[in-house]
Chains A and B, each alone.
Chain A
Amino acid sequence: SAVISQKPSRDICQRGTSLTIQCQVDSQVTMMFWYRQQPGQSLTLIATANQGSEATYESGFVIDKFPISRPNLTFSTLTVSNMSPEDSSIYLCSVDGALNTEAFFGQGTRLTVV
């Protein structure tokens, strides 16, 4: 199993500013995933972050808006840039389990943009 810590757990931000979300895992993992969950909706994958390479973004998400860092095998950050109220969501970090078929999720970061 993997234990994932996300910071901050929630934040209220002014539009036009940026917020960086941190994700720390208690073990080394190859791939880390960032999801967005809009209010009352399901999870949507933003990007996949591998250590030592550029993140891979899903359709509808771009690096300029959601830059990701992956400096080592236990840590990643997601930045939500130039925020607008439409960015108000829960952002979740995830990693695969040892068998690559069970995923573990952080508690999420609840972002409100005003």
Chain B
Amino acid sequence: LAKTTQPISMDSYEGQEVNITCSHNNIATNDYITWYQQFPSQGPRFIIQGYKTKVTNEVASLFIPADRKSSTLSLPRVSLSDTAVYYCLVNNAGNMLTFGGGTRLMVKP
């Protein structure tokens, strides 16, 4: 299973754009890149998923370069409620998920 590496923590301020980069050098051809968000006392929640180039939804954007060895989750104009742990995973259909350490994002007023 491809291993992921992300910063342990990040700080930001309300209204700023936050970019969290994840390295996955050993990603396989049929792996997808998926990001989850976890608040305290809750299970992880799916944010976004992509295979290559750029994916955007109502919550975030995901940028994946051509070599797919890294990806960047972009959160536009964060608010205090975006304070959470963000996990980057690589997996393919039917495989169990392997969580790395995650990035603890703290949004300050």
Interface residues of A (CB under 8 A from B): 4, 31, 33, 35, 42-45, 48, 92, 94, 96-97, 99-108, 110
Complex Cα distance A103/B98, Å?
Answer: 12
Interface size of B by CB at 8 A reads 22
How many A-B pairs with Cβ below 8 Å? 52
A101 touches B91 (CB 8 A): yes
CB contacts (< 8 Å) of A108 on chain B: these are 41-43
B43 touches A106 (CB 8 A): yes
| Interface residues of A, dominant DSSP | strand
Chain B residue nearest to A105 in the complex (CB): B43
Besides A42-B101, A103-B36, 9 new A-B residue pairs in contact (Cβ under 8 A), listed by A number: A31-B94, A43-B99, A45-B98, A92-B43, A96-B94, A102-B46, A103-B46, A108-B41, A108-B42
Interface residues of B (CB under 8 A from A): 32, 34, 36, 41-46, 49, 87, 91-94, 96-102
CB contacts (< 8 Å) of B93 on chain A: these are 99-101
Most chain B CB within 10 A, of A101, A102, A110, is at: A101
A101 touches B43 (CB 8 A): no
Contact of A110 among B32, B41, B96, B98 (CB under 8 A): B41
With A42-B87, A99-B93, A100-B93 already in contact, the answer to whether A105 and B44 are too (CB < 8 A) is yes
Complex Cα distance A99/B91, Å?
Answer: 12
Complex Cα distance A99/B87, Å?
Answer: 20
Chain A residue nearest to B102 in the complex (CB): A42
A101 touches B99 (CB 8 A): no
